[in-house]
A and B are shown apart, each in its own frame.
Chain A
Amino acid sequence: MDRERCVGAGMCVLAEATVFDQDEGDGTVLLLDPTPAVERRAGVREAAAVCPSGAVTLLDG
């Protein structure tokens, strides 16, 4: 998660709201769950794919 790159578009929250959230103050990405359950993986993969600024990276996809 790279909060410096993040532009706060909110695409990750739309893709998987149980894993990603946005900071109330500056709108940048917050990781709610660093090790999402298997059934969340598709949403997390989508979040990484659609992120406009390349701020979301998957480890061991």
Chain B
Amino acid sequence: MHHTTTMPTGRPTGCPFDPPAELAALRDEQPLRPLLYPDGHVGWLATGHAAIRAVLADPRFSSRPELAHFPLPREGFDGEMPPVPPGMFINADAPEHTRYRGLLTGRFTVRRMRLLSARVEEVTVEHLDAMERRGPSTDLVTAFAQPIPALMICELLGAPYADRDFFLEHTATFNDHEATAERQAESMAAFGGFLHDLVLAKRARPTDDLLSDLTETDLTDEELANVAFLLLGAGLDTTANMIALGTLALFTNPDQIALLRADPDRAVEELLRYLSIAHTGVRVALADVELDGHLIKAGQTVTISLEAGNRDPAKFPDPDRLDLSRHAAGHLSFGHGIHQCLGQQLARVEMRVALPALFERFPTLRPTVAPRDVPLRSDVDILGVQRLPVTWDVP
């Protein structure tokens, strides 16, 4: 019998970027181990890079949340997840997943997303100009990190930019574990209704955007609204948090800023690895699976600690060091397997444009509170900062 642990939480004080210390200890001891879930379920915890890749690449593991147990208790959550609505393909298995993803991958290729670079640059410059006009201090989250990805994903889909604040507010509520179930349901309903109307508008009067093009496939209105919901939800909060948390990481590692400028592509990969903002996922075994000398039984949940895998010394030497000159390929920050992030090339373009431009425009940029006092969003699905108050010298 193995010793069964519960899911470690709590980030080390003074080192907000590091995963819970206990998680690292568990990984180094046993990269795949039994885990006791809050509802009494005994499942597994994968923390090693190789074990995580093996689970995520294996079609015998399901992404359907209604089959899963969750490693941490959630406020107001009675343990039963409703079945996932059609079109939410992040939570679907093959072959349903394959159909939706196949309709979208051609729109998110490396080439197409790089063609958007010029537009990302324009949007970035607009926001830097606005910061400069209103300067010399601001909250970087609302002035810079949130609006750039919001504008890009809204333009890509054809959702009106005027509704940005609406989107930001509702995505933040979903990702907030502390929000009551009621507030989450309200947000969900408001968001869903808006997107449904948008789909009807695109069907009636198609414009030049992804959502209009999707109305020409055999997807129903409900499926279209759910696909739009997924893209917006996954595209707003994630990149915004990478930009804000990435800036904070550079504030605490100022020697790395020159490396960001020297090779932004390489630097962005390392920031993705080091910060692992989408830190944890779950999968459920649909059949008995033997892995690493363990038997994972059908029905058991495996919690996937992407952040522990990204700090696995067996894969990345000196893993707790942020080193923007490192070749960080193979990190797990966008996941692995058939669900690996659809929007990753867009996210890369946004980060590799926005981050260097920020430090170029404001070489004296610095936080107005000590980095350790910056309020973090730590108890949520996507790590980040709540606010990042910054200032700079006016020449």
A: residues with CB less than 8 A from B are 7-11, 13-15, 17, 21-28, 46, 49-50, 52-54
Contact B329 A10 (CB under 8 A): no
Please tell me the size bucket of the interface on B: 20 to 34
Contact B109 A22 (CB under 8 A): yes
Bound-state Cα–Cα, A28 to B338, Å: 13
Provide the main secondary structure of the chain A interface: loop
| Chain B residues near A49 (CB-CB < 8 A) | 330
Bound-state Cα–Cα, A27 to B340, Å: 14
Considering only residues 318-369 of chain B, those with a C-beta below 8 Å from chain A are 329-330, 334-338, 340-342, 344-345
Contact B344 A10 (CB under 8 A): yes
Contact A13 B338 (CB under 8 A): no
Contact B340 A52 (CB under 8 A): yes
| Chain A residues near B340 (CB-CB < 8 A) | 7, 9, 11, 52-53
Contact A54 B57 (CB under 8 A): yes
Binary flags per residue of B225-250, CB closer than 8 Å to A gives 1, else 0: 00000000000000000000000000
Closest residue on chain A to residue B57 by CB atoms:
A54
Bound-state Cα–Cα, A21 to B335, Å: 21
Binary flags per residue of B106-141, CB closer than 8 Å to A gives 1, else 0: 111111000000000000000000000000000000
Measured CB to CB, the closest approach of chain A to B111, in angstroms, equals 7
Measured CB to CB, the closest approach of chain A to B346, in angstroms, equals 10
| Chain B residues near A24 (CB-CB < 8 A) | 106, 109, 111
Considering only residues 368-390 of chain B, those with a C-beta below 8 Å from chain A are none
Bound-state Cα–Cα, A52 to B342, Å: 11
Measured CB to CB, the closest approach of chain B to A21, in angstroms, equals 8
Question: Chain B CB within 10 Å — which of A10, A22, A53 has the most?
Answer: A10
Contact A53 B109 (CB under 8 A): no
Contact A9 B106 (CB under 8 A): no
List 10 additional A-B contacts (Cβ < 8 Å) besides A8-B105, A27-B105, A53-B337.
Answer: A9-B340, A9-B341, A15-B329, A22-B111, A26-B106, A27-B104, A27-B106, A28-B105, A46-B329, A53-B340
Contact B106 A8 (CB under 8 A): yes
Between-chain CB contacts (< 8 Å), 5 pairs: A7-B105, A10-B344, A11-B340, A46-B329, A46-B330
Contact B338 A7 (CB under 8 A): yes
